[in-house]
Structure 1
Amino acid sequence: MSPSFTAHNIRLDDGTQTLPERGWTLDQGPHVSVVRWMSQMLFPHGPGGQRIIDLGCLEGGYATEFARLGFDSTGLEVRKSNFENCLYIKDRVALDNLHFVNDDAWNIGHYGVFDIIFCVGLYYHIDRVTDFMHMLARHTRRAILLDTHFAPEDDASPSVATYNLSPLVTHEGLPGRWFHEHELEADNPALDALKWASWENKTSFWPTKPALLTLLRQAGFDMVFESFNQFGPDLVGPMGADGYYTTHTRAVFLGFKTP
């Protein structure tokens, strides 16, 4: 019996898909497109032998597509229920360069240094954001793709109400807002079922956008860009006053370490 997939529609080698109702497979998505571009720019002779890790890889879809691009690809996932989906994928794709580990993202150091870190939908579930960013930088040779929420500076921003964010405060020297995750203790098995929440910390800290950009540069990513590929060719709606970018304060940042 195949496991239930909630997010990643992955094309398997036999032609079946894990979440066909999505209508498109993950390899057609904007984040894979950006990593493909990063690969061509950073590794003009191809990504063979280059290491990439997907932190909090959920159901393993992105890690799978990166292996298909030619990377030595690792998906790291802490929740056992998600990890079982990853192993299901691993058994159904012929990719010797695809690896999955069941571990906390804070333990990335156990798995060496990577050329690219792919961090999508995870950073806004972290409380010690400065320590985490510097840790990622220590284990990255070339670049990071970071898809995360940031805290609006204006109290009237719609995302403050949408996510019930705290008033603007300073944490680890950074301005930002706290986001409530859950009330479960770290050893509670119910944490495994909260697929869209933090792992152990009950609250997470969202730096403001300027603070986050500064932190990326201080950590060693001396060239930082913002990608809008996730919105398609027309940015007027998503970037408008009522658009997703404004109401959810979520963005994709690319940080590079220059030679």
Structure 2
Amino acid sequence: MMTTNLTRTNGTPDGLQCIARDITDQVRMEENQQFYLEQITKAHEEERQRISRDLHDSAAQNLIGVLHQLENFCQTDEFLPMPRLRLLWSFHERLKDSLQEIRALSRDLRPSILDDLGILPAIDWLVEQVRTEHKLIASLKVSGERRRFSPETEVTVFRIVQEALRNIVKHAEAAKVWVAIEFQDGRTVITIEDNGKGFELPESTGGLSRLGKLGVDGMMTRARLVGGKLTITSTPGSGTVIETDIPA
């Protein structure tokens, strides 16, 4: 609503003019958009969970069975020529590698530690992956009174941290990563910082998509879905800081 004072030519007040704009449709549209985003995100996570379970219960178990059969065959058949035996053992090693890749993919899609133990052990697992698999110096610091979030919020926080660490590993050229979780009264702040090459931030968040940084745009969307806010600070040559503030 906009209000304007009406005055006479001699300056004395003569009335009040009010201009109001009905924003009901705009509010309804924003609420609908929020609802659809929540439903899409929920469906996405359910599909991830289903695929992860299928990979673990079906594909991985089938490979384990084939590996055991191949081992028994190689160890019990005394008449196999040595060249064929070496070839079969090489197949065995390749199958083992494939099994490890399937297990890693299953964990990445939906790690059981998140559902079983909660967000803190799950984030600790992500940080440990950065240390062991990518050889970065990575640390996790937790302060305040620890608590669990709702399942939806825990999944959201996990995906934000997962995407941030993935971006650091792939693009930042960093040597060190710091993850901090601060539990405050009624809110939690998650900070991910690296000492990588940084990047030039666009003037608006919409520019992130145009720059090809869809992962960052997705993290911001996830934070909004749980009523939170995600901010990024970055300068070329000075690393990047991602801070997520959620009401939980």
Q: What TM-score range do you get, normalising by the shorter chain?
A: under 0.3
Higher relative contact order (CA 8 A, sep 6+): 1
Normalised to the residue count of structure 2, the TM-score between the two structures is 0.24
Normalised to the residue count of structure 1, the TM-score between the two structures is 0.23
Work out which of the two has the higher radius of gyration on C-alpha atoms and give 1 or 2. Answer: 2
